[in-house]
Amino acid sequence: MVTEPKRLLIIDDEPQIRRFLRISLASQGFVVYEAEGGKEGLAMAETEAPDLVLLDLGLPDLDGQVVLDRLRARSQVPIIVVSVRGQEGEKVRALDHGANDYVTKPFGIRELLARVRALLRLRDGTETTPATARYRRGNLVIDTGQRRVWRDGEVVRLTPKEYAVLERLCRHGGQVVTQRQLLREVWGPSHVDDTHYLRIVVSKLRQKLGDDPDAQSLLQTEAGIGYRLMIEPDDADAPAPTTGSPSHEDHHSRRRPGRRHPGRTPSAPSCAARR
């Protein structure tokens, strides 16, 4: 069966950037559409129905954040912001308003291509089997259908909060998930500023999953923004281990009186920004 090539839309007003991206993406088999402004980009998103959008923020007619809001209001298409704006506030706003990832110019094309592929894999996997997704990285297996985690074939015991954070990071594997999003979804809207809760849980997860807190090869911190779990859906035919009880501990049985629970293609030159 022949698979249709994925369609990507670039919204960027710099011809050199668009050309660089067009050549790089087309070489990987993608169909590429281009828009030099926000209004044109919004119109093309309607007519061409892209599988993914690469969005610059510094557009001549509409601010990229406005374009992001309008795109997200219409569709759940994956969006990677590619911008020279590297301030923490810009990144947090874009991610909180629906961007799936944020890449700062100048960027390496291999890294960008890897993020594009990861987002497209996630989209395809999410649309087919969202409730029974299984993820693997080395000796670590996470099965959200069984709500179990294995490391070296042994069940990893997680608290309900630890599992909830891990499950949400898995769903967005390879992408940044903001602190506010995790706190809102796991602890509730009244705790969106309680970042110390999240730091404690992430520290425990690194310890239990065997992730070096200095190297952060599995669970990465995006300082001041959020976290990124470097894991992918498991396409292997071999079943996950089936022994052991669910990975998350019974919240009520573990509670103690008086304690508060907060619950690569060949490398190409980097793309330089000129503004």
Indicate the domain borders of the chain: 7-126, 129-254
Which residues in 94-124 are b (16+ Cβ under 10 Å) and which e? Answer: bbeebbbbbbebebebeebbebbbbbbebbe
Q: What percent of the chain has pLDDT over 90?
A: 40
pLDDT at 62 over 80: yes
What is the topology classification, in CATH, of domain 7-126?
Answer: Rossmann fold (3.40.50)
Which has more confidence, 119 or 22? 22
pLDDT in tens, 171-214: 888 888 888 889 988 888 788 888 999 999 999 999 999 988 88
Q: Which CATH architecture has domain 129-254?
A: Orthogonal Bundle (1.10)
pLDDT in tens, 116-135: 988 888 777 644 344 447 88
3-state secondary structure of 112: helix
- Its pTM stands at 0.57
- How far is CA 196 from its chain centroid? 22
Q: Which residues contact 7 (CB under 8 A, 6 or more apart)?
A: 30, 31, 32, 33, 48, 49, 50, 51, 52
H/E stretch holding 46: helix 38-48
Q: Indicate if 129-254 has the same CATH topology as 7-126.
A: no
pLDDT at 270 over 50: no
Which residue from 168, 203, 171, 173 is spatially nearest to 183, judged by alpha carbons? 168
Mean pLDDT of the chain: 81
> What per-residue confidence (pLDDT) applies to 24?
94
How many CA atoms lie less than 13 Å away from 100 in the CB half-sphere?
27
pLDDT at 274 over 80: no
Long-range contacts of 165-170 (CB under 8 A, 24+ apart): 165/198, 165/201, 165/202, 165/205, 166/142, 166/205, 166/229, 167/142, 169/219, 169/227, 169/228, 169/229, 169/231, 170/133, 170/135, 170/142, 170/144, 170/229, 170/231
Segment 58-80 mean pLDDT: 91
Segment 91-112 mean pLDDT: 88
Q: Pairing state of beta strands 134-137 and 101-104?
A: unpaired
